[in-house]
């Protein structure tokens, strides 16, 4: 994923695009304005109405192959954080009734089964897919891609480690007051999930490019791409 000034640029001038990360309790919603964040927890994406969301969940589900955006995101994050990007399951596998069925379907389509981690978030993928198919404005983003784009190679440690979390907070502090992170209180919502939503919310004020440059569409007409900040 190399820097290319000719790539598609998206500038969002409104303050309505919010960063979203899924949790066991629903969705962390972060909004960035006036160099600070507002953080909320919603049970359903339907509660976000017609807002523009940049979300850490696959948008655009493949039919029978690995998405190019997933491969390119791993290349960009290599060698430290590439493992944080998993292959999106095929559309049919996402809507399978059991994990074993999903593995069998995905293996038949792509030659690879899906991980348990991927299966565990399929309810979230389905929820986002249903909202996107209604024509709602959902853009796919990956927090680790955002952090590396904004801070190059300095965010190397896992976000689940104390040092990794400190590194990510340091990046966010460059953009303003992060006190909302400490004041937000919701049971079973981890700090790293909130940080992920916060960094995605910065997309509201940044120039973004799509990866790949000319994304294909899935069988429902949804673009298969990951949005990435353009940095010098």
Q: What would the pLDDT profile of 163-172 be if each residue is shown by its tens digit? A: 999 999 999 9
Matching residue, tokens 């896992």: 158
Q: What is the mean pLDDT of residues 194-217?
A: 96
- Give percent of the chain above pLDDT 70: 92
Tell me the whole-structure pTM to 2 decimals. Answer: 0.90
What is the three-class DSSP state of 151? helix
Q: Which of 151, 56, 65, 155 is nearest to 108 (CA)?
A: 65
**What's the whole-number average pLDDT of the chain?**
90
Q: What is the mean pLDDT of residues 66-92?
A: 91
Residue 221, CA atoms < 13 Å, CB-side half-sphere? 6
DSSP state of 66: -
Q: CA–CA distance from 145 to each of 50, 68, 204, 209, 231 (Å)?
A: 26, 15, 16, 12, 12
pLDDT of 120 > 50? The answer is: yes
Q: What is the mean pLDDT of residues 33-54?
A: 91
Q: What are the structure tokens assigned to 79, written together?
A: 């060698």
For residues 99 and 45, what is the distance between their CA atoms, to the nearest angstrom? 24
Sort strands 26-33 and 36-42 into parallel, antiparallel or unpaired.
Answer: antiparallel
pLDDT tens for 86-117 read 999 999 999 999 999 999 999 999 999 999 99
pLDDT of 4 reads 39
More confident residue, 209 or 155: 209
pLDDT of 153 reads 65
Matching residue, tokens 């927890």: 41
More confident residue, 10 or 75: 75
For residues 208 and 10, what is the distance between their CA atoms, to the nearest angstrom? 5
For residues 53 and 51, what is the distance between their CA atoms, to the nearest angstrom? 6
User: How far, rounded to the nearest angstrom, does the alpha carbon of residue 12 sit from its chain's CA centroid?
Assistant: 17
For residues 28 and 180, what is the distance between their CA atoms, to the nearest angstrom? 13
What is the helix, strand, coil percentage profile of the chain, to 5? 40, 20, 45
List, in order, residues 6 or more apart from 144 with CB less than 8 Å away.
Answer: 77, 81, 84, 85, 155, 159
pLDDT of 37 > 50? The answer is: yes
pLDDT of 81 reads 80
pLDDT of 3 > 80? The answer is: no
Q: CA–CA distance from 34 to each of 19, 175, 198 (Å)?
A: 15, 10, 14
């Amino acid at each position: 994923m190399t820097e290319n000034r000719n790539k598609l640029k998206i500038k969002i001038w409104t303050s309505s695009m919010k960063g979203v990360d899924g949790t066991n309790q629903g969705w962390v919603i972060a909004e960035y304005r006036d160099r600070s964040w507002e953080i909320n927890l919603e049970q359903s994406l339907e509660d976000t109405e017609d807002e523009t969301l940049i979300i850490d969940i696959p948008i655009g589900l493949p039919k029978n192959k690995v998405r190019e955006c997933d491969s390119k995101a791993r290349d960009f994050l290599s060698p430290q954080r590439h493992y944080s990007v998993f292959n999106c399951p095929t559309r049919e596998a996402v809507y399978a009734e059991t994990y074993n069925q999903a593995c069998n379907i995905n293996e038949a389509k792509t030659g690879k089964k899906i991980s348990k981690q991927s299966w565990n978030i399929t309810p979230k993928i389905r929820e986002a897919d249903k909202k996107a198919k209604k024509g709602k404005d959902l853009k796919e983003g990956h927090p680790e891609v955002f952090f590396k784009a904004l801070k190059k190679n300095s965010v190397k440690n896992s976000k689940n480690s104390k040092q990794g979390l400190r590194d990510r907070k340091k990046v966010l502090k460059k953009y303003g007051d992060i006190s909302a992170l400490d004041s937000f209180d919701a049971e079973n919502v981890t700090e790293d999930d909130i940080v992920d939503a916060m960094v995605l919310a910065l997309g509201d004020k940044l120039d973004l490019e799509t990866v790949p440059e000319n994304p294909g569409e899935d069988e429902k007409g949804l673009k298969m791409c990951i949005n990435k900040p353009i940095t010098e």
